[in-house]
Amino acid sequence: MIADLIIIGAGPAGITASVYAARKKMNFLTITKDIGGQAAWSSDVENYPGYQFITGPDLVAKFQEHMDKYGIKLNLNEEVVDLEKKGNVIYIKTTKSSYEAKTVIISAGKKVKELGVPGENEYKNKGVAYCVTCDGPIFAEKNVAVVGGGNSALDASIQMMNIANKVYLINITESFTGDPVMQDKVQNNPKVEILHNTRVESITGERFVKGINVDTRGRKQSLSVEGIFIEIGLMPNSWFARELDKNERGEIKVNCASETNIPGIFAAGDVTSVPEKQIVIAAGDGAKAALGAFRYLARLK
């Protein structure tokens, strides 16, 4: 059976698109690796309308309650590996099955970038981590390093300075690129030692991480840490959409109606070229994409 719509991803964009599709009584399916996407990684969310403060996991739980109200079913732990359109049908292959749809919304979000240094792969899940919200409590009262200089690195440091014994914040550039209010929090905390102009050279350990080797303007040193959080940015999960136009960062190009260069294929959220990556913006894009898919189907009929 050919679905009216298949939504790829269940972060804020995909969840919102699902709710709108359900309200329009569309025959649709949502395929996703997990629920919440990057929103589930956030500790403090203070800029989502209706909540002066809420944690990322709590906000995702609210999203899920909304989906449950409409009986929306998700194909969890399933990733898309190929997508192409032939005629008026879009063919999707996943790690588990194959599907056909008249319209598709790609809201697959982004994935973490890796450092690519010796020891990183060897010590993944053995001290090297990419999600402070998920793994931070494991390193209570221990020395840790956070690598990065943007909001994600600052957020990770803020979380860990309340958990860890000491936090080394390692930034490859001369200054942070994150929000000033977040910079103030880390710069004024005695637990945080900031290392600007510093490059990670390797990660060391035995069975688990024991240290990190860095170079600060030619001055090399080894830091004794048991946890390392890599927070150097994200890459869009767009590789499977080979026929779509993308920008130099691999983000899917969309217009103001969330339309891609291929009719019937929409994209929403952080996987797109929309300049600001925020939960509220992703949610709005998901709504636009679902309404756009509904209008497209009306014209197709």
Q: Which tens digit of pLDDT belongs to each residue from 7-18?
A: 999 999 999 999
256 is catalytic: no
> What percent of the chain clears pLDDT 70, i.e. is strictly above it?
98
> How does DSSP classify residue 71?
T
CB within 8 Å of 52: residues ≥ 6 apart? 46
206 and 129 share one domain: yes
Among the three residues 213, 230, 247, which one is the final residue of a domain in this structure?
230
pLDDT reading at 57 higher than 90: no
How does pLDDT run across 230-255, given as a tens digit for each residue? 999 889 999 999 999 999 999 999 99
Among the three residues 230, 260, 281, which one is the final residue of a domain in this structure?
230
Cβ atoms of 258 and 285 closer than 8 Å: yes
Residue in 161, 158, 154, 119 with CA at minimum distance from that of residue 139:
161
142 and 170 share one domain: yes
219 and 241 share one domain: no
Q: How far apart are CA 111 and CA 92, in angstroms?
A: 20
How does pLDDT run across 145-183, given as a tens digit for each residue? 999 999 989 999 999 999 999 999 999 999 999 999 999
Give SS3 for 190. coil
Supply the range of the domain harboring residue 21: 3-111+234-300
pLDDT reading at 282 higher than 90: yes
Range scoring the smallest mean pLDDT among 64-78, 87-101, 185-199: 64-78
Label residue 131 by pLDDT band (50, 70, 90): confident
Residue 204's pLDDT is what?
A: 97
66 and 151 share one domain: no
Label residue 52 by pLDDT band (50, 70, 90): confident
Query: What are 51's strand-pairing partners?
Result: 48
Q: How many domains does the chain have?
A: 2
Label residue 275 by pLDDT band (50, 70, 90): confident
Choice among 44, 68, 134, 184 that is catalytic? 134
37 and 173 share one domain: no
36 and 93 share one domain: yes
Among the three residues 230, 264, 290, which one is the final residue of a domain in this structure?
230
What's the mean pLDDT in 32-37?
Answer: 90
pLDDT reading at 38 higher than 90: no
Provide the terminal-to-terminal Cα distance of the chain, rounded to the nearest Å. 17
Cβ atoms of 118 and 205 closer than 8 Å: no
Label residue 133 by pLDDT band (50, 70, 90): confident
DSSP 138-160: GGTTSEEEEE-SSHHHHHHHHHH
Give SS3 for 48. strand
Residue 261's pLDDT is what?
A: 98
Query: Which CATH number is 86's domain given?
Result: 3.50.50.60
How does pLDDT run across 174-230, given as a tens digit for each residue? 999 999 999 999 999 999 999 999 999 999 999 999 999 999 999 999 999 999 999
Helix (H) or strand (E) holding 200: strand 198-205
What's the mean pLDDT in 95-116?
Answer: 95
53 and 147 share one domain: no
Q: Is the dihedral of CA 278, 102, 19, 33 positive or negative?
A: negative
pTM of this structure: 0.78
For 42, phi then psi, to 5°, come to: -75, 140
138 and 195 share one domain: yes
219 and 128 share one domain: yes
CB within 8 Å of 226: residues ≥ 6 apart? 127, 139, 142, 143, 144, 208, 209, 210
140 and 182 share one domain: yes
Q: Which residue has the higher pLDDT, 148 or 138?
A: 148
pLDDT reading at 134 higher than 80: no
What's the mean pLDDT in 17-34?
Answer: 96
Residue 167's pLDDT is what?
A: 98
57 and 31 share one domain: yes
Residue in 32, 74, 30, 34 with CA at minimum distance from that of residue 56:
34
B/e letters for 197-227, b = 16+ CB within 10 Å, e = fewer, are ebbbeebbbeeebebbbbeeeeeeeebebbb
What's the mean pLDDT in 79-86?
Answer: 96
Give the per-residue SS3 of 203-253.
EEECCCEEEEEEEECCEEEEEECCEEEECCCEEECCCCCCCCCECCCCCEC
Q: Is the dihedral of CA 8, 291, 28, 35 positive or negative?
A: positive
Query: What are 110's strand-pairing partners?
Result: 236
131 is catalytic: yes
Label residue 43 by pLDDT band (50, 70, 90): low
164 and 213 share one domain: yes
